[in-house]
Amino acid sequence: MIYQKPDCLFCRIILGEIPAKIVYRNDHVVAFRDITPVAPQHILIIPVKHISSLNDLGPADEMIAGHMLLAARIVAEIIGIRESGYRLVFNTGADAMQSVFHIHGHLIGGTQMGWPPFPGLPTVHA
C-alpha cells in the first residue's frame, strides 16, 4: 500500500493538492521543478511513498531507491543535461540543511559546478 502523510508538503504535491511543475512521474516516483532553483536546472525527485529522509530508508525500500536513481537519469535526458552533466544531492538532517522531510534528490545542472563544495576546509577522516 502506498502511504501519504496528510501534513507533508511533498505528499500533497503527489496528490495534486499543491501545484508543481511536474517533469516526470511513474507509479513509484514524481519529479518536479524546485520552487527556488539553485542552478539553471533544478529538479526534485521524490518517491510516492512517504519516507522522511535517507536515514529512514529501510531494506524494504530497496526498489524505491532504485526507482529514484533511474528517474534521475530519465529526467536528466528529458531536460537535456544528460551529456553536459549533473549532480544528485540528498540533503539529510541538520548539517545538510534538510528542510522538507519527505526524502528527495536534488537533480541540479545546466552549468559548470565546483567540487569539492567547500574547498579549503580541513577534511575529517574517521
Give me the active site residues, please. 104
Select from 72, 85, 59 the least CA-distant residue to 28: 72
Q: Supply φ then ψ for residue 86, to 5 degrees.
A: -165, 170
97 vs 124 by CB, closer to ligand AMP? 97
Torsion angle, CA of 57/98/50/43, rounded to 10 degrees?
A: -100
**Cβ 121 to ligand AMP shortest distance, Å:** 20
**Cβ 51 to ligand AMP shortest distance, Å:** 13
4 vs 98 by CB, closer to ligand AMP? 98
Name the one residue in this structure whose C-alpha cell is 574547498. Answer: 119
Contact positions vs ligand AMP (CB under 6 A):
9, 18, 20, 34-36, 44, 91, 97-100
